[in-house]
Structure 1
């Protein structure tokens, strides 16, 4: 595992392309991959990724809204559940099956609810509405060392201020993959994202 806290969000990816795209991501150092459940045949894509990369990547699902979907993700070999909201039932179901839980939060109340329910970290969503200053205020009261991912409206050009206030990672969707992108498109974007992340972390 690379240790980079970057989650690739492959919304809209199809099973016939997902393994090739996953390999491109791993080649440039992104080893956390989620397939949002509102993608075509999402569970099949998760199963294919998990089968191909279970030893070298953390594979999971995004846009997970119910405990029933958590079970389906686990059955496909998924190891990570990411949601746009903070649902304690989803978090508890995820942890009961031994998977990583990153629920979406927008307020300190939601963040504390997520952590009290057993979440491994929080997904700040939409991050563009919170901003680095908002995260800095939240981190003043949240547990030290907590994992936090900025998702929604963030990209290589805006990594530095987020890292400066203490975010631990990023979830990147359309800045990395959109339906119709080939492996060369994803490779270039992924390389730019990794380079910007490394520059920000090493400062």
Structure 2
């Protein structure tokens, strides 16, 4: 399953971080994101009834998207997300127990790292994708330094402070992809507003391909 998820991410490596999403608006927002080109959606577990949103998105979007949860901090939470049909486990930190549990249940592991020590510990535990978090503190220079010591084919996402205007500089520093939160979705936004912002990110990403 993880190979198919990685293929989906590689096609458009933009993860929509939907912090604060409610189950009532989940499907509408999800469809708007898919309409704009996004195919990977994350519902952080500190959102209202997040597992319900994950389940609803999976049921509505099916194989058209990859849906998972963020802010996953314990192995128990990993199991809860997978029980809700979540496919990807994203964390702000690199907890080896969480990573190992994610791999054991067949989901994709994307932990947050900030240093080379954390990055290599996460990879040793089985992480498939790393996210530099918070990337706005590290900056493109910090990402470039981390990229220099990682395996050349290692997927490394920038998460935090990414906008359509600065996406190109992050790509130039070696970012494989991006997790996008507040610049894409905030509670109270309409699905149309989210879709419009999503299209701006897809346009910015496409401009880096050439």
TM-score normalised by length of structure 2: 0.94
> How many correspondences in the alignment?
202
Give CA deviations for 1:7-43 in whole Å, capped at 9, x if unaligned: 0000000001100110111111100000000000000
> How do 1:120-131 and structure 2 match up within 5 A?
120-131=128-139
Aligned counterpart, 2:179: 171
Match of 1:69 among 77, 86, 94: 77
Q: Aligned Cα RMSD in Å?
A: 1.0
Aligned counterparts of 2:163 and 2:90: Cα–Cα separation in 1: 19
Give CA deviations for 1:141-195 in whole Å, capped at 9, x if unaligned: 1111111111111111111111112211000001111110001110110000110
Aligned counterpart, 1:59: 67
Aligned counterparts of 1:176 and 1:135: Cα–Cα separation in 2: 22
Aligned counterpart, 1:78: 86
Aligned counterpart, 1:25: 33
Measure how far apart 1:138 and its partner are. Answer: 1.2
TM-score normalised by length of structure 1: 0.97
Aligned counterparts of 1:48 and 1:150: Cα–Cα separation in 2: 27
Aligned counterpart, 1:91: 99
Structure 2 residue 163 is the aligned partner of structure 1 residue 193: no
Aligned counterparts of 2:154 and 2:148: Cα–Cα separation in 1: 12
**Runs in 1 of length 4+ with deviation above 6 angstroms?**
none
Aligned counterparts of 1:83 and 1:69: Cα–Cα separation in 2: 11
Is the 8 Å Cα contact of residues 69 and 86 (structure 2) preserved in structure 1?
yes
**Helix, strand or coil: the match of 1:140?**
helix
Aligned counterpart, 2:150: 142
Aligned counterparts of 1:148 and 1:33: Cα–Cα separation in 2: 17
**Helix, strand or coil: the match of 2:68?**
strand
